[in-house]
Amino acid sequence: MPDAAPPSPARRPATLTVSTLAVVALVGAAWWSARGTGTAAVPDGDAVVATVGDAAITSDELADAYAQYVFRVGLEGDDPAVRDAILESLISRRLVIESARADGIAETDGYRAARAFAESKALVDRYTAIEMADELAVTEADLREEFRMAHTTYRARHLYARSLSEAERLSARLAAGETFEALARETFSDSTLAASGGSLGEFAHDEMDPAFEAAAYALPIGQISEPVRTATGYSVLRVEARTTSTLLTEDAFITKRVQLQRYVTRRNRTEARFALGRRVLAEARPQIDARVLGRLVAFATGEGGTLDAEALAAWRATPLVRFTSAAGLPGALTVGDVEAQAETMTERQRAAVQDEASLREYVEGLVVRQEIAARARAAGLERDPGVVRSVAMQLDDWTFAEAKRQLRESSPVPADTLRAAFARDHDLYLTPPRVHVREILVASLADAREIRAALDGGADFATLARTRSLRPGAASAGGVLGPVSRDELGRLADAVFAARPGTLVGPVEVEGRFAVLERGPDVPVRPMTFDEARPALVAALDVPYAQQTLARALSDLRRRIPVRIDRAAVARVLLFPDAAGAVPVASAAPARPARS
């Protein structure tokens, strides 16, 4: 993490103008969904609005990109200038993709891995759509029920768990008579939720995870729910109050119809995917080798030591899970298979896999994904036009991102540019506030509370750190983390910086584990040297410099690759959905997950 905030925007180089929206879009937030068909056939009835070399950009692509832009910025009506700028951004994106393909990117290992992942995802999505068609369908009754939900407020409390097994244990303890108040103190590291018995206060539509909200809407007042699967884990909840507005009019329903359709479709898709996954998992009956899983966790947390090349190869070939595959055939995934799949995980997904329970759930998810893909292939879905198109779109996404990364790495911000910026803005680059910190990291909240009690009773911090802390290097350092900044402390920063020097903080959750910390003295702030400021300088200048580099590359590509625009076809593109939502509509922004 950078040691200092980047310079004030007022002191940065001027940004590009609106007339260069296409270039900004290539490296900025406007590229959220722009996609191309590449070499895939243009679907029947989908007009071609432009060609880049031999690749086509279709009316559906333009309509979809425009719809998502409108959704994000709140634009009303058709703005011809925005329409043209978005088309130019699609053309620019396609130029980058076609150039990368001409340079042989499709022959790289990275592309082959991306293709395998894209095919698996497309097959899973298509099989789910066919197998769960009834669950995915959106009826008039669904929309009207969603309209009522949109005008409902709730008061509820919940307990959060990372895994289903953990959530089931919490549910069983509640059923046995334990209270939310007692369990919240045990399960939440968030002091507010721990003290309030998991109370979420009052919340309204689209403020929580859709599955959480659907459960809160259907659950009888005062009843404890079964574990509810959300985007971040599992919740066990109890609704304490629920109020639905009585002033619901037909005009209001019609006005919100498209938005409701989008929301219900997204929620149905998530619920159908979970339902199919549970069914396939039960049929596959995976058997995970607990010993191998435990060793994998140890390696992941830095406690498994190191292996030489021969031992590493043998370890990766070790079966981790065996299961019953399609048509009753035996299936298996090795440690190496799981490691290869993990390379495609997002940072959010990586953060969620932090202990044996969450890793077990991740492995089960891989079994489900592999089994659904196998069933889809057995049904011949590899040749399905929708699957073919989805794979092409995903590979476009990957190719574009990889080409941008390579261009960025090949043209770093010049050192003299960094030094000039540092000389001009040197007064902005100060070392961040830091404090000396010692830490003892343990596996459970109970262990952390035991450590805290021992320290409160006068135990020596360094001795406990050497014998109990799971932090690599703690044995030799006695728990000393050194002087650390707010950025380096992350979610612990507020509690540590607010404490007085010499006092204890915690227990506090840290990525699935629990820490007790000792807050030491402050470290004085001082001017940074150039080397210290360099990461922040690069962060401040990287995007504008990348924009300039990309603009030059695009100018060259535009001269080398022929671009043809059918202005009449562009003018005929219908950019806004009718009341029935017949035209492609952008996906809704993700709801906030239930707080944990």
CA 531 to chain centre: 32
Digit-coded pLDDT (tens) for 38-60: 444 555 556 899 999 989 998 88
Give me the amino acid identity at 459.
A
Rg (C-alpha) for the chain, rounded Å, is 27
Q: Which of 566, 584, 588, 554 is nearest to 93 (CA)?
A: 554
User: Are 180 and 239 contacting, i.e. CB atoms less than 8 angstroms apart?
Assistant: no
Residue 326 gets which letter from DSSP? G
Q: Which of 333, 334, 338 is nearest to 300 (CA)?
A: 338
The DSSP code sequence of 153-192 is EEEEEEEEESSHHHHHHHHHHHHTT--HHHHHHHH--SHH
Q: CB burial class (10 A; 0-12, 13-18, 19+) of residue 539?
A: middle
What is the pLDDT at residue 342?
78
Whether residue 507 has a cis bond before it, omega within 30° of 0: yes
CA distance 108 to 352: 30
User: Are 184 and 193 contacting, i.e. CB atoms less than 8 angstroms apart?
Assistant: yes
CA distance 578 to 231: 31
CA 182 to chain centre: 32
Give me the amino acid identity at 362.
Y
Q: What is the edge-to-edge ordering of all strands in the sheet holding 319-324?
A: 287-288, 319-324, 330-334
The DSSP code sequence of 405-452 is HHHHHHSPPPHHHHHHHHHHHGGG-BPPPEEEEEEEEESSHHHHHHHH
290-293: list long-range contacts, CB under 8 Å, 24+ apart.
292/318, 292/319, 292/320, 292/335, 293/320, 293/356, 293/359, 293/360, 293/363
Q: Which of 397, 302, 287, 292 is nearest to 344 (CA)?
A: 397
Could you tell me which residues come within 8 angstroms of residue 293 by beta carbon, excluding any fewer than 6 positions away? 320, 356, 359, 360, 363
Which pTM was predicted?
0.65
What is the pLDDT at residue 221?
93
Which tokens belong to 317? Answer: 């070939």
> Is beta strand 513-523 parallel, antiparallel or unpaired with respect to 434-442?
antiparallel
Residue 5 gets which letter from DSSP? P
Digit-coded pLDDT (tens) for 210-257: 888 889 998 999 999 999 988 778 899 999 999 988 878 888 888 778
Q: What is the edge-to-edge ordering of all strands in the sheet holding 480-485?
A: 480-485, 434-442, 513-523, 504-510
- Integer angstrom CA distances of residue 361 from 166, 338, 367: 11, 12, 10
Q: Which residues of 97-135 are buried (b: 16+ CB within 10 A; e: fewer)?
A: bbbbbeeebeeeeebeebeebbbbbbbbbbbbeebbeee
Could you tell me which residues come within 8 angstroms of residue 43 by beta carbon, excluding any fewer than 6 positions away? 58, 60, 385, 389
Q: Which of 314, 292, 296, 318 is nearest to 305 (CA)?
A: 296
Give me the amino acid identity at 27.
V
Give pLDDT tens digits along the chain (596 positions): 333 332 322 323 222 222 222 322 332 333 323 334 444 455 555 689 999 998 999 888 888 888 777 766 666 667 788 888 999 999 999 999 999 999 999 999 999 999 999 999 999 999 999 988 888 888 888 888 888 888 899 999 999 887 888 889 999 999 888 899 888 887 776 667 877 888 888 888 878 888 888 899 989 999 999 999 887 788 999 999 999 888 788 888 887 787 788 788 888 888 888 889 889 999 999 999 999 988 888 877 666 677 888 888 999 999 999 998 876 777 889 998 888 887 776 666 666 666 777 788 889 989 999 899 999 998 999 999 999 999 999 999 999 999 988 888 888 888 998 999 999 988 889 988 999 999 998 888 888 899 999 999 999 999 999 998 888 777 788 889 889 888 888 777 888 898 999 999 988 877 667 889 999 999 999 999 999 899 889 888 888 888 888 888 999 999 999 999 999 888 888 765 443 343 333 333 333 334 44
Is 294 strand, coil or helix? Answer: helix
Q: What angle do CA 491, 362, 492 make, to 5 degrees?
A: 5
